[in-house]
Chains A and B, each alone.
Chain A
């Protein structure tokens, strides 16, 4: 199945550093989501974006919905050890006529490791 392209694939950073990652698609999405997944667990929603150009924050996390609707960015400021995990972007193409939610298309993931 289709997967969105995320970069970088993995990154090692020091505690306190800022982190940036992005997600690109060949298709347009109406909604962009960012999830974090810890080993052996399901993804946990971090941020949801619904409008092109939208910039949304959740604590130390900031995400943007690209103007072209084909990309999204996630920034983590002042990283801490518990930020370790895999970050996934996900896009959704909603039905305009029914307004119903449908499937998510996930990215390939960015693995973040934080060193003290």
Chain B
């Protein structure tokens, strides 16, 4: 499978616990994005990386959230001290460096990790 891979697909955790999600982008893509999607809404941007550099963070990314992409390949998103409001689908996407515009330069999404905080 050469698409964006996210693990785990589902995570149920108790409030106050820490959770970590992993994203493996398409191998030749150097841009990686994290989005959050709550029920009935469209995805909302959290952060993105160009290789290992985190270039933009949304105000939605509170200090309990941290994302890393240490070697410019896979990325992790950690949520500390989870709250019920963190329950959502966390989507990862990747894209190549923007060159000639076309569908192949746009973000391809993974299947997401659904987090439920109880």
Contacts and interface: CB of A to CB of B under 8 A. Distances in A.
A108 B105 contact: no
Contacts of B71: none
Interface in A29-68: 31, 33, 35, 40-45, 47-48, 50
A35 B107 CA distance: 10
Given A33-B106, A48-B103, A42 B58 contact: no
Contacts of B25: none
A11 interface: no
Nearest to B44: A1
B85 interface: no
Contact of B45 (A1, A4, A41, A99): A1
Given A42-B111, A48-B106, A101-B31, A106 B43 contact: yes
Nearest to B92: A42
B56 A108 contact: no
Contacts of B101: 31, 48, 50
Contacts of A103: 33, 45, 48, 56, 58
Contacts, number: 74
Nearest to B60: A1
A107 B42 contact: yes
B65 interface: no
Interface residues of A, number: 29
Interface residues of B, number: 33
B56 A42 contact: no
Given A48-B102, A101-B31, A41 B111 contact: yes
The 9 A-B pairs of least Cβ separation, nearest first, read A106-B42, A42-B109, A103-B45, A101-B98, A1-B44, A48-B103, A50-B101, A106-B43, A43-B109
Given A42-B112, A104-B107, A108-B41, 18 more contacts: A1-B44, A1-B45, A3-B41, A4-B42, A42-B109, A43-B91, A45-B106, A48-B102, A48-B103, A100-B50, A101-B105, A101-B107, A103-B48, A104-B45, A105-B45, A106-B35, A106-B42, A109-B40
Interface of B: 4, 31, 33, 35, 40-45, 48, 50, 56, 58-60, 91, 93, 95, 97-98, 101-103, 105-112, 114
